C-alpha cells in the first residue's frame, strides 16, 4: 500500500499523544531543571506533592519558567502535521496527554493550527504513568482501550498506556531506545505511525 493510498483501519478508534518530545522536538533540559529544584532523582511531580505548599509553589514557578523558555524554541517533529491530518481524515478523535500545563498546550495548539478533542495536563491526577488519564480519555470517547493507540517518547507514556490497556508506540530517540521493548510498536519518526494506523494490530 502506497502512503498516498493509506487509510485508517477500522480497528482504530482514537489516538492519544504525549506532547514534549513526541509532537515536538525535545528542548526542555530536565537535568538543569533537576539541578535548580534540588531533585537529583525520582519523579519530579511526585516529589513535589510531598513538599510544603510554599516550597511546592516555588518549585512549580521554576518549572513553568523553564517550560516558557522552551516554548521560544518550539519545533514540531518531522511528519507531525501530516500524521495529524491523516488521523483527522479517518475521522478519529485525538487527545493530548501531557505533564505540561494547560497554558503551554494552548500555545502549542495555536502555533500548530490544530485542535485536539481532549487535552489532559498535569492538573489531572494521578499523572502518568498511572493509567487513570488514559482510561478517562477512552471513557470520554466511549471506546475500548485496545482500540486506541498511545504515542509517546518516554517510559511513563508507555507504562501509562500498557496499564490502561491501550496499544502503545514509542517514538525513538538516542536516549530512550531501552524503552522500546515495553511498547507494542517503536518508530524512528512520526511518519511510521501512519503505517500502524493503516493496519490491524499484529498485521503490520
Q: How far apart are CA 195 and CA 164, in angstroms?
A: 23
Catalytic residue among 20, 117, 157, 184: 20
Residue 18 annotated as catalytic: yes
Side by side, the strands of the sheet bearing 94-97 are 118-120, 94-97, 14-17, 148-152, 167-171, 185-187
Assigned C-alpha cell, 178? 531501552
- From residue 21, give the alpha-carbon distance in Å to each of 7, 12, 47, 129, 131: 26, 23, 22, 16, 20
Catalytic residue among 18, 54, 153, 156: 18
Assigned C-alpha cell, 74? 518550539
**Which of 91, 92, 107, 115 lies closest to 20 in space, CA to CA?**
107
Q: How far apart are CA 135 and CA 137, in angstroms?
A: 5
Residue 18: phi and psi, rounded to 5, are: -70, 165
> Would you please indicate which residues are annotated as catalytic (active-site) residues?
18, 20
Amino acid at each position: 500500500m502506497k502512503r498516498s493510498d493509506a487509510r485508517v483501519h477500522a480497528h482504530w478508534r482514537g489516538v492519544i499523544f504525549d506532547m514534549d518530545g513526541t509532537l515536538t522536538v525535545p528542548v526542555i533540559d530536565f537535568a538543569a531543571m533537576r539541578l535548580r529544584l534540588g531533585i537529583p532523582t525520582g519523579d519530579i511531580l511526585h516529589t513535589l506533592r510531598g513538599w510544603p505548599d510554599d516550597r511546592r509553589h516555588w518549585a512549580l514557578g521554576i518549572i513553568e519558567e523553564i517550560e516558557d523558555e522552551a516554548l521560544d524554541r518550539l519545533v514540531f517533529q518531522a511528519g507531525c502535521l501530516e500524521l495529524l491530518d491523516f488521523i483527522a481524515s479517518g475521522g478519529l478523535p485525538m487527545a493530548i496527554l501531557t505533564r505540561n500545563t494547560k497554558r503551554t498546550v494552548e500555545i502549542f495548539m495555536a502555533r500548530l493550527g490544530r485542535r485536539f478533542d481532549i487535552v489532559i495536563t498535569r492538573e489531572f491526577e494521578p499523572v502518568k504513568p498511572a493509567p487513570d488519564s488514559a482510561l478517562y480519555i477512552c471513557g470520554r470517547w466511549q471506546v475500548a482501550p485496545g482500540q486506541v493507540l498511545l504515542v509517546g517518547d518516554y517510559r511513563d507514556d508507555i507504562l501509562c498506556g500498557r496499564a490502561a490497556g491501550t496499544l502503545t508506540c514509542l517514538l525513538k530517540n538516542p536516549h530512550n531506545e531501552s524503552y522500546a521493548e515495553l511498547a507494542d510498536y517503536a518508530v524512528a519518526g512520526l511518519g511510521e505511525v501512519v503505517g500502524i494506523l493503516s493496519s490491524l494490530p499484529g498485521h503490520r
